[in-house]
Amino acid sequence: LLAAPAALGQGRRRRPPPPQSPLEKVSAQAELRLPQLTGRWFLVGVASRCRHLAEQSHRLEATAVTVTVPDGQSLGISTFRKLDGMCWEIRQCYLPARAHGRFLLKGRGHGSRVDVVVGDTDYSSYAILYYQKGRSVSVKLYGRASQVSDAVVDRFEQHVRAVGLSEDVTYYFPTYGFCDSADEFHILDGEL
C-alpha cells in the first residue's frame, strides 16, 4: 500500500508541448524601419503549396501593392490586381504582433487568421515576407521594380528552402499589365 501512490503518479503522462509553428523559426528583419517600407511594391514571386495557386499558375496576373503605416505600428496594404479583366483593390491591415517585424492579419470566420513576418528587406529594391495560415507557410518576394536582380532571386530562393519549400512550388508573376487603381465598385476591405 505504501508504494501505491507513487505508482499511480507514474501512470500519468504529460501532454507533449504543442508543435512549434513554422514561423517561430523565422527571424524577422533586424531593426525593421516601417516608414521605409511605405510606397509601391510589385509582387515578383510566391512560394506556396497552395493547391489553387498550382492549378491556376498559368493565369497569374501582375500584382502591385501600396504600403502605408497608418498608426506608426501597423501596415496598411492595398493590393491592386486584375480579376476577369477588371482592376480590383484589396485593402488589408497587418496589425502588430508580439514581436517587432511580426504582424497579424485577421480574416473573417474561424481559422482565417494569418501570421505575417517581414523576414528580409533592403527597403530600396526587395522585401521578403512570410505568411502562415494554420500550418501552411508561403513566402513572397516583392520588388520596388517589377523585376529584381539575380542576387535577390537567389536570396529569395534561400528563404524558400529554409522553410521546406522548393522551386517546384515557386511561381513568378508577370512583369507587365499592372493596375494603378480601382473604381469604387471594385474595392474589397479586409478580405483575404
- DSSP calls for 39-52: EEEEEEEEE---HH
State the residue for C-alpha cell 501552411: 136
119: left (phi over 0), alpha (psi -120 to 50) or beta: alpha
- Tens of pLDDT along the chain (192 residues) come to 455 555 555 556 676 665 567 788 899 999 999 999 999 999 999 999 998 888 988 889 999 999 999 999 999 999 999 988 899 999 999 999 988 899 999 876 666 789 999 999 999 999 999 999 988 999 999 999 999 999 999 999 999 999 999 999 999 999 999 998 888 888 888 644
Q: What is the CATH number of domain 37-189?
A: 2.40.128.20
Half-sphere exposure of 132 (CA within 13 A, CB side): 18
pLDDT score at 17: 60
Look up residue 51 and give its three cell numbers.
493547391
Dihedral sign (CA 175, 191, 90, 71): negative
> What are the φ and ψ backbone dihedral angles of 162, each rounded to 5 degrees?
-65, -25
- Domain residue spans of the chain: 37-189
The pLDDT value recorded for residue 12 is 61
